[in-house]
Every structure is written in C-alpha cells, then in structure tokens.
C-alpha cells in the first residue's frame, strides 16, 4: 500500500508542534486544524505520529478490527500506574478476556443500583458545605470527593466506604505523576523519587485490594452492587489481574468524571438561564426541596434518569466541548488506509474527540455552548452529531465506564442545580490544563450558597 502521508508540518517546524502537543494540547490541535485540517501527521523516518480528528475518518478508524492497533505500546505510560495486566494496556486475547470480565460487572441492573448512591453522595457533599450565607469556594475538590465516594462504593461495596479519603490520596500522586513531563516519567529504579513514591502508593493499594479479596473469599457480602466481589467470585481473572483491573477502573473513572463535572459546573453557571432550567427539571423529577418527595435518596426508580432530559443534554454538550481525553493514543499494528492517505505500521495514532467535537463542518456555531442543539435533529443531523460526538470513543475499545460516567454527571449536575446557587467569579472560562485528563485551570472558583433543607 503506497498512499500519501497526511498533510502536516515538515522539517524543524515539527519540533514546536510536538512541544505544543505534549505540553498544551488544545491550542496545538487548534493550530494544526487551522493549517492542515482535522487529520495531520508529523515525524521523521520510522517515528511517526498521526492526528485523526475528522468524524468520518474516526468512524472508519473505530470500525477497523482491533488487531489493526496495539495499546500495549512503548508510549503507553499508563502501564506503570495501572499495571501491565490492566485491560487498558492489553491486546488480543488478554484484552478480550479481561474486558469481558469487567464488562459483565457493568450490567444495567448494577448501574441502576448505583443511582441512589450517586444522589446520596451528592447530597452528602452539599450537606458538608457551610455556605448558607454564600462564600467563594472551589467546587473542584468537592466534585472530586463526590466522584471518589461513588467510585469507592461501586467498586468495593460498603467495605471501604470509610477509607475513601485514604484511597483518594493513594490515587492522587500517581495521577499527578502521569500529568508530569515525559522526562520525569522516564523509567528508573531510584529510591526517594516521585516514581518510587508512586510505586509505594500502588503497593499500598494492592494490599487493600488483597485484603478485600481475602474478606470476600472468607465471607462474601452478597451485595449485588459490589464489582470487586463480582470479579472475585467469577474466578476468571487471577488475583494480580483483578488488582490491575480495579486500579484501572478507579484511575480511569475518577479524574475523568470529576474533571468533566467541573467543566459542566463552569458551563452551566456561565450560560444564562441554564442553571434555573436545570433546577426546575430537578424539582419536577426529584420533588421540590423540603417537599414530601424532596428527599431523592428514597427514589429508587431508575426511570428518573431518563426524565433528566435537559441535564443529559448539558452533559453531552459539555463533553462535546471538553472531552476529558483530548487525544487518545493507539499504535498502528499494520499499514492503514485513511481516505487517500496512508498511516504506516508503527505510527502512534492520536485520535481526537476534541477536534471532532468542535468540527465546524458538523456543528453549527461549534464553540457555542448550547445544550438545545441536540433537540429535534433530523435523521441526517443526528447521524452527523453521532459521528462527531466521541468523548468515550467507539467500538471494541470504547470506554467501559461510559454509562456510569454519563449517569453520574447527569444526576450530579441536576441535584447540584437544585441544592446550590452558584455565581462564577469571572465570565471568562478558565484555560484547560492536563495532558492525560483535561480540566479547568484553577479549579471551579465560584460564589456558592446552599439552598433550603432537602
């Protein structure tokens, strides 16, 4: 196969582009699109990188057989934190086996069972705020805490509910490490370094998981919502595989979901009318605060989620503009054809939900925040929007937590709109930061006031 290379910078101009992609990816992607369109490539000789952001090309890419790509490649830095048996860095049969075990744990019944937990934890976070008279606070750590509390309960049942803060700390250093420069992440065995501390955090997590597995074997709790118990009792994965999957699930879900909730808070607070519309929808679905049905934790009715129709669109619109993964890497395992172009075997393919979500050919007023854009689409518009909305990827390697994340984000924003008044400190949206997970720089500083009794 001998197609042309994709367009892109050549010669020394590539150095600045690469530096931009590795330090501040979003402006770098915007510049690449302006100069070369949504698909481009760079690199010398055998060392190549292709950026794919065109929604039609992405549809083709997601439909290719998984054997066309490798995830366990040398640039996948995640393996150091999540472990080499994690499904996220596995290929072939290992991937299929690990993924199908984990996927079974994310069945619809279990997902619906988490709805009350999500609302309870949102309420607990609001109840913990002492801002009835209004105060300037950063909602980012609050969002992280909410997501962590839900995650810990979803994956360990009630077993480690009182150890959520400790688990959060054991994840914080590894996540910060993954966001540090490539030089800092260069593999080495030296003690007393950030890398060695990350290793120690991982050992501490492993010890906790082992303790939980032993407990389950001794006396299963029978809690149908406990993912770790489901994986242990199923018995398909070895203990070390289970450890790597649990760390992967928490790692992949914690930062991404809390960063997305932070962008949602910004967008909803900064767009006139959205917060109050979210609140009236929440009042309809959960019952008004202080009213007979205002205590949503008693609501075990899973149709509740389907009725949060605006909150769902707010979630979709936020993830369109601010996908947690701006670029996602995989390596071409064979020569690939992309339209008239060739992507050679060995190329690091960075597909971009960010470029697709802002594609001016697909989205009218692509940079505007308008959750109503998804209402009354024609079949053709709906097809275009479907191809261009890919924050969770598609196909056999799509995000395994996509339903849980969407559920958390929809329920949390809705309940927060009902229980908080929020005013942003500035009308200018914060700068995005983060190579692995895109979040708002400076967090979510807002004037916050809690409303009435729940």
Output the CA angle 138-142-148, nearest 5 degrees.
Answer: 145
Distance (Å, rounded) from C-alpha 212 to C-alpha 242?
A: 11
Q: Please, are residues 99 and 404 in contact by the beta-carbon 8 Å criterion? A: no
SS (H, E, C) 203-240: HHHHHHHHHHHHHHHHCCCCCCCCHHHHHHHHCCCCHH
Distance (Å, rounded) from C-alpha 70 to C-alpha 89?
A: 8
**29-65 b/e with 16+ CB inside 10 Å = b?**
beebbeebebbbbbbeeeebbbbbbbbbbbbebbebe
Mark 48-87 with x for binding to ligand HEM (rule: CB under 6 A) and - for no binding.
---------------------------------------x
**Which phi and psi (to 5°) does residue 144 adopt?**
-65, -40
Give the CB-nearest residue to ligand HEM. 401
Q: Which residues contact 330 (CB under 8 A, 6 or more apart)?
A: 69, 70, 71, 73, 348, 349, 351, 397
Contact flag: residue 373 with ligand HEM (CB under 6 A): no
Query: Which one of residues 115, 125, 228, 404 is an interface residue with ligand HEM (CB under 6 A)?
Result: 404
Give me the half-sphere count of Cα atoms (radius 13 Å) on the Cβ side of residue 14: 15
Query: Which one of residues 115, 324, 326, 435 is an interface residue with ligand HEM (CB under 6 A)?
Result: 324
Contact flag: residue 357 with ligand HEM (CB under 6 A): no
Contact flag: residue 391 with ligand HEM (CB under 6 A): yes
Least distance in angstroms from the C-beta of 7 to ligand HEM: 23
Q: Which is nearer to ligand HEM, 117 or 328 (CB)?
A: 328
Contact flag: residue 401 with ligand HEM (CB under 6 A): yes
Least distance in angstroms from the C-beta of 356 to ligand HEM: 11
Q: Which residues contact 308 (CB under 8 A, 6 or more apart)?
A: 281, 282, 285, 410, 411, 414
Stretch that binds ligand HEM, among 300-308, 325-333, 415-423, 442-450 (CB under 6 A): 325-333
Stretch that binds ligand HEM, among 123-131, 381-389, 397-405, 426-434 (CB under 6 A): 397-405
The single residue listed with the structure tokens 């500035």 is 426
Contact flag: residue 168 with ligand HEM (CB under 6 A): no
Q: Which is nearer to ligand HEM, 9 or 231 (CB)?
A: 231
Least distance in angstroms from the C-beta of 397 to ligand HEM: 4
Mark 225-264 with x for binding to ligand HEM (rule: CB under 6 A) and - for no binding.
-----------------------xx--xx--xx--x----
**348-377 b/e with 16+ CB inside 10 Å = b?**
bbbbbbbbbbbbeebbeeeeebebebbeee
Contact flag: residue 392 with ligand HEM (CB under 6 A): yes
Query: Which one of residues 393, 432, 434, 443 is an interface residue with ligand HEM (CB under 6 A)?
Result: 393
Least distance in angstroms from the C-beta of 255 to ligand HEM: 9
Q: Which is nearer to ligand HEM, 249 or 314 (CB)?
A: 249
Query: Which one of residues 31, 96, 97, 99 is an interface residue with ligand HEM (CB under 6 A)?
Result: 99
Q: Which is nearer to ligand HEM, 97 or 173 (CB)?
A: 97
Nearest to 403 by CA among 224, 257, 241: 257
Distance (Å, rounded) from C-alpha 347 to C-alpha 46?
A: 8
Stretch that binds ligand HEM, among 111-119, 301-309, 342-350, 393-401 (CB under 6 A): 393-401
Q: Which is nearer to ligand HEM, 238 or 398 (CB)?
A: 398
Distance (Å, rounded) from C-alpha 321 to C-alpha 368?
A: 9
Stretch that binds ligand HEM, among 20-28, 38-46, 135-143, 391-399 (CB under 6 A): 391-399
Least distance in angstroms from the C-beta of 134 to ligand HEM: 29
Residue 271 pairs with which residues in a beta bridge?
Answer: none
Question: Which parts of this chain interact with ligand HEM (CB under 6 A)?
Answer: 87-88, 99, 248-249, 252-253, 256-257, 260, 323-325, 328, 330, 391-393, 397-401, 404-405
């Amino acid at each position: 196969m001998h197609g042309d290379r994709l367009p892109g910078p050549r010669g020394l101009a590539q150095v600045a582009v690469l530096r931009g992609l590795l330090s501040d990816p979003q402006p770098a992607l915007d510049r690449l699109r302006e100069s070369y369109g949504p698909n481009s490539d760079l690199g010398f000789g055998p060392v190549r990188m292709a950026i794919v952001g065109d929604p039609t090309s992405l549809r083709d890419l997601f439909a290719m057989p998984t054997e066309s790509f490798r995830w366990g490649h040398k640039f996948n830095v995640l393996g150091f934190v999540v472990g080499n048996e994690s499904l996220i860095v596995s290929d072939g049969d290992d991937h299929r086996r690990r993924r199908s075990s984990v996927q079974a744990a994310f069945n619809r019944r279990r997902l619906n069972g988490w709805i009350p937990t999500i609302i309870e934890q949102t309420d607990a976070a609001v109840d913990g705020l002492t801002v009835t008279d209004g105060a300037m606070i950063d909602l980012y750590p609050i969002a992280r805490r909410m997501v962590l509390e839900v995650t810990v309960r979803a994956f360990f049942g009630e077993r480690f509910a009182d150890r959520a803060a400790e688990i959060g700390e054991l994840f914080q250093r590894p996540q910060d490490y993954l966001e540090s420069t490539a030089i800092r992440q260069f593999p080495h065995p030296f003690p007393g370094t950030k890398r060695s501390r990350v290793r120690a955090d991982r050992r501490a997590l492993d010890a906790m998981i082992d303790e939980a597995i032993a407990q389950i074997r001794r006396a299963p709790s029978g809690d149908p919502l406990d993912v770790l118990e489901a994986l242990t009792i199923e018995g398909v994965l070895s203990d070390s595989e289970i450890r790597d999957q649990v760390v992967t699930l928490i790692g992949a879900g914690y930062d991404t979901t809390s960063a997305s909730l932070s962008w949602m808070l910004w967008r909803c607070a900064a767009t006139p009318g959205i917060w109050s519309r979210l609140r009236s929808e929440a009042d309809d679905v959960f019952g008004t605060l202080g009213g007979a049905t205002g205590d949503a934790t008693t609501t075990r009715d899973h149709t509740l989620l389907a009725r949060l129709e605006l909150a769902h669109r707010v979630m979709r619109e936020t993830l369109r503009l601010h996908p947690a993964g701006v670029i996602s890497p995989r390596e071409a395992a064979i020569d690939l054809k992309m339209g008239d172009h060739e992507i050679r075997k060995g190329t690091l393919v960075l597909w971009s939900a960010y470029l697709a979500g802002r594609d001016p050919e697909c989205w009218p007023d692509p940079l505007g925040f308008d959750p109503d854009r998804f209402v009354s689409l024609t079949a053709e518009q709906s097809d275009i929007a479907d191809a261009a909305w890919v924050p969770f990827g598609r196909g056999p390697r799509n995000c395994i937590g996509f339903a849980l994340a969407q559920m958390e984000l929809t329920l949390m924003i809705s309940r927060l709109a009902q229980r908080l008044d929020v005013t942003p400190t500035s009308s200018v949206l914060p700068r995005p930061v983060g190579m692995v997970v895109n979040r708002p720089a400076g967090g979510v500083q807002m004037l916050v006031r809690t409303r009435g009794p729940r």
